[in-house]
C-alpha cells in the first residue's frame, strides 16, 4: 500500500466552550510542533484576537479620556483667566455695587453665573459639533457612528460644572474686594 501526501492549507476547529479555547489551541500547537518541526503553520484563536482587540479598545478609550481631561482642564483655565480679567476690568463696578449694599454672595453669584454661561456656550457649541461631525462621517465616509442620547446631556452638564469649578476663584476674588479700594480703581 502506497501512502500519499496530502497538503492541508486550512483547518477550522470549532470549540463550544469559550473557557477552553486557548487551552485547546495550545494543545493543537504542541501536536503540530512535534509533527512539523519547521513551524510551517500558524494558529489563530479568535477569542485571543478578540481579547487583543478589547485591550486595544481600552487603551484607545484611556488615551481619548486623557485627551478629553486635558482639554477640559485647559478650557477651565481659559474660563478662569477670562473671568479674572473681567473682575479686574470691572473692579469699579464691583465697588459701586458693594457700596450700594450688594452682599458678597450677590457678587459671587453674578460672576459664577457668568462663568457658567461662558462655559455653557462652549458646551453648546461642542454638543452641536459632536452631533454634526458623526453625521458627516457616516454620510460621506460610510462609517457607522453612534451618538447616544445621554452623550449631549452629559457633555453639557460637564461643561456647566467646569464653569462652576473654574469660576469659583474669580468670584471669590471679586467678592473679597474692599469697596473703598475698588472705587478708587481707575
3-class secondary structure per residue, 67-110 = HHHHHHHHHHHHHHHHHHHHHHHCHHHHHHHHHCCCCHHHHHHH
Which residues does the chain have with pLDDT short of 70? 1-2, 6, 18, 39, 48
pLDDT in tens, 58-109: 898 899 889 988 998 999 999 999 999 999 999 999 999 998 998 999 999 9
pLDDT the model gives residue 147: 81
Closest CA to 22 of 52, 53, 44, 1: 44
CA distance 100 to 25: 81
CA distance 36 to 27: 14
Q: So what's the pLDDT on residue 171?
A: 95
Three-state SS at 142: coil
Whether the Cβ atoms of residue 98 and residue 107 lie closer than 8 Å to each other: yes
Give pLDDT, residue 134. Answer: 86
Q: 173: which residues sit within 8 A by CB, 6+ positions away?
A: 84, 87
The per-residue pLDDT for 1 is 58
Share of the chain above pLDDT 90, in %: 42
Amino acid at each position: 500500500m502506497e501512502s500519499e501526501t496530502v497538503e492541508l492549507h486550512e483547518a477550522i476547529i470549532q470549540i463550544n466552550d469559550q473557557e477552553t479555547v486557548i487551552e485547546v489551541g495550545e494543545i493543537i500547537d504542541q501536536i503540530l510542533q512535534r509533527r512539523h518541526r519547521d513551524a510551517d503553520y500558524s494558529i489563530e484563536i479568535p477569542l485571543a484576537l478578540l481579547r487583543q482587540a478589547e485591550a486595544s479598545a481600552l487603551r484607545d478609550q484611556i488615551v481619548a479620556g486623557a485627551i478629553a481631561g486635558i482639554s477640559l482642564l485647559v478650557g477651565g483655565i481659559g474660563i478662569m483667566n477670562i473671568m479674572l480679567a473681567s473682575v479686574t476690568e470691572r473692579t469699579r463696578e464691583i465697588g459701586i455695587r458693594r457700596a450700594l449694599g450688594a452682599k458678597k454672595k450677590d457678587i459671587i453669584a453674578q460672576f459664577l453665573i457668568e462663568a457658567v454661561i461662558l462655559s455653557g456656550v462652549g458646551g453648546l457649541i461642542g454638543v452641536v459639533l459632536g452631533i454634526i461631525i458623526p453625521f458627516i462621517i457616516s454620510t460621506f465616509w460610510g462609517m457607522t457612528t453612534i451618538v447616544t442620547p445621554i452623550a449631549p446631556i452629559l457633555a453639557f452638564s460637564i461643561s456647566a460644572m467646569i464653569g462652576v469649578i473654574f469660576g469659583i476663584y474669580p468670584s471669590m476674588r471679586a467678592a473679597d474686594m474692599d469697596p473703598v479700594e475698588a472705587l478708587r480703581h481707575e
